[in-house]
Amino acid sequence: MGEALATLRATIRKWSRADRKRILEAADAAQQAHLGQFRASGEPYVVHPILVAAIVASSGGDTATVIGALLHDTVEDTPVTLDDIERQFGPDVRNIVDGCTKVAEVRVSGADALEAARMRKLLVALARDTRVLVVKSADRLHNMRTIAHLPEAKQRRIGQETLALYGPLAGRVGLTHIKAELEDRAFAVADPQAYAAVQAELHTPELRQQLDSAMSTLSNHLRASGINGSLSGRIKMPWSAYRKAQSLGIPVHELHDLIGLRVIVPTVRDCYVALGAVHSLWGPAEGRFKDYIARPKFNRYQSLHSSVLGEAGTLIEVQIRTPVMHAEAEHGRAAHRSYKNADPDEPAWLRRLLDDHDEEDGEYLHAVHRELSAEDEILISTPNGDTHILPAGATVIDFAYAVHTAVGNACTAGEVNGLLTPATAALHTGDRVHVLTGRDGPPPAEWLNYAVTRKARTGIKAARRRGEQAAPNSCVEARDHDPDLTLELPLVGILPPDATRQRGNERALLEVLVADRTGILADLASAITQAGGNIVFSSTTVLPDHSGRDLFDVACAHDQRRDIADALEEVPGVTAVNFLD
């Protein structure tokens, strides 16, 4: 315990006397509260919050956040209440501890209502004050550092959760340092074999030699060009190398950008001078230069990035930045300021996830993970110059729904930078998009394969549900008006022709005999759809006694045929179901 406290004291030794005093008071309060509690390692429990506080302090956290870290487990595990905390340490600390307590545990494996509710709570707490995320990330990091004391299965679960949720979240608010260590430790326990294999591919003498040689060449060149600054080099981290290799479908050692160099120079002007020097030494790779100084990333990250062709044709990513940019890149801004609800700086990704809540729970969790796994955001503008921020990979469809749900529903195509473009096309940052509208009927199901934002996906599904209800009912009406006619009506609107391609490895031709009942056709159609079939065509014959014979041509998997017939037999009013093929 003394050792943990010494670590914390050392971290804050340059802080003001008043801040240090408050922090040590909070350490005392934590010690009292957790007295008699122990961790799995056998240590006194309070060692954990003290070391979490040290991580927060060294990540740029302010005094309230450090104190929040010291007390983050008290309300949940001890008799201490939020009112006690507010009385002694003020409302800011209370809010931080409250946020941490509310989001005590979010699991990512489940897709049930409980997990979705927890996820929403987490995001709401973050929207109120992103300092909660600083404490949660530090908490998770200390737990990852001490995870060896837990059983293996639990280690794996916690590792997976960290990779899916806490690592990306830390990255979202720019806690780069914490994100990197979290993901490295989590990968090691989530998939020990893959981790070892990637490590072996990254830690080869050849790669090490390439890095050393690139560093000495560049540092000589920068010095000769009269540039002051510092240079560091690194080999890609296992988790990001693994992810990238997986997404490209190649082994890790075939990745081109395993080596990265970072130049830190005193001023912004020096950054551009250094860039010129780098490009005079190594040619830039086509289309691989990014000026995040002139145009910062969504989390306000600033740097110049250029991928250059180094010795022997290896691709090297060079980052150039000032010391101030470097400090912000490592620690993020989340530690320094809270995002109030009305704050225009509330991160766009967070607002997107909090915007509407009307989706089923499983879909909500997927939306969160889809959002978090997008590495970047893109900025799109309307012809009038209004801008919308969307996740990378967003399409014209997403943009149309971002403008307005009605625009999304009516969207037919887009005019992207003046060129006619399909609605399913992906957009890029800086695109100017005019949405072309004029659709009759609901958007095609196929759009769900292209829409990445929650707003678009919710909009498409809602419009399709309305469309599906409308179409069969109109057929039933036609029958009611003219009972003696034999109707041959395709059920337009139940599915677009494309949908058959996705599922339809087989067709089933079904005959359904029914007694007279208003709305029965709609029930039959929905029974088929729910059992996994897609209606390609249907016809209805109404007999003079008002009983009927419905034929359905259904696209489905072979093993769904029986399910579909069973589902049809369950519909009230059905007297017989036969396969005609």
Strand partners, 259: 235, 316
Query: Of these residues, 28, 76, 356, 376, which one is catalytic?
Result: 76
Q: Is 73 in the site for Mn ion (CB under 5 A)?
A: yes
Beta-sheet pairing, 377-381 with 387-391: antiparallel
Distance CA 158, CA 269 (A): 44
Q: How far is the CB of 162 from Mn ion (least distance, A)?
A: 14
Residues 508-547 close enough to bind Mn ion by CB under 5 A: none
Instruction: Tokens for 3, please give them.
Output: 């050792």
| Rounded CA separation 462/241 (Å) | 39
Supply the minimum distance, in Å, between the C-beta of residue 139 and Mn ion. 4
Nearer to Mn ion, 139 or 201 (CB): 139
Residue nearer to Mn ion on the CB measure, 73 or 550: 73
Q: Which residues of 475-512 are buried (b: 16+ CB within 10 A; e: fewer)?
A: bbeebeeeeeeebebebebbbbeebbeebeeeebebeb
Active site residue 257: no
* Binding range to Mn ion, per CB under 5 A, among 66-74, 283-291, 301-309, 545-553: 66-74
Rounded to a whole number of angstroms, the minimum distance from the CB of residue 108 to Mn ion is: 18
Q: Give the nearer residue to Mn ion in terms of CB position, either 77 or 291.
A: 77
Q: Which one is catalytic: 77, 446, 506, 516?
A: 77
Q: In this complex, which beta carbon is closest to Mn ion, that of residue 39 or of residue 434?
A: 39
- Burial pattern 11-46, b for ≥16 Cβ within 10 A else e, equals bbeebeeebbebbeebbebbbebbeeeeeeeebbbb
Q: Which of 62, 115, 139, 371 binds Mn ion (CB under 5 A)?
A: 139
Q: Which span sits near Mn ion by CB under 5 A: 69-77, 104-112, 305-313, 314-322?
A: 69-77
The answer to whether 321 touches 264, Cβ cutoff 8 Å, is: yes
Task: Assess contact for 101 and 75: CB atoms under 8 A.
Answer: yes
Stretch that binds Mn ion, among 134-142, 191-199, 242-250, 457-465 (CB under 5 A): 134-142
- The count of chain residues that interact with Mn ion, using the rule CB under 5 A, is 2
Stretch that binds Mn ion, among 136-144, 184-192, 236-244, 449-457 (CB under 5 A): 136-144
Residue 76 is among the residues annotated as catalytic for this protein: yes
Smallest gap from Cβ 140 to Mn ion, in A, equals 8
Residue 375 CA: distances (Å) to CA of 42, 71, 172, 450, 479 = 39, 33, 9, 17, 53
Contact between residue 217 and residue 231 where contact means Cβ atoms under 8 Å apart: no
φ/ψ of residue 309, rounded to 5: -90, 105
Query: Cβ of residue 142: shortest distance to Mn ion, in angstroms?
Result: 7
Give the phi and the psi of residue 486 in degrees, each rounded to 5: -90, 120
What residue is closest to Mn ion based on CB? 139
Shorter beta-carbon distance to Mn ion: residue 139 or 161: 139
Instruction: Find the shortest distance in angstroms from Cβ 153 to Mn ion.
Output: 20
Angle (CA) 167-170-175 rounded to 5° is: 125
Catalytic residues: 76-77
Q: Which residues form the interface with Mn ion (CB under 5 A)? A: 73, 139
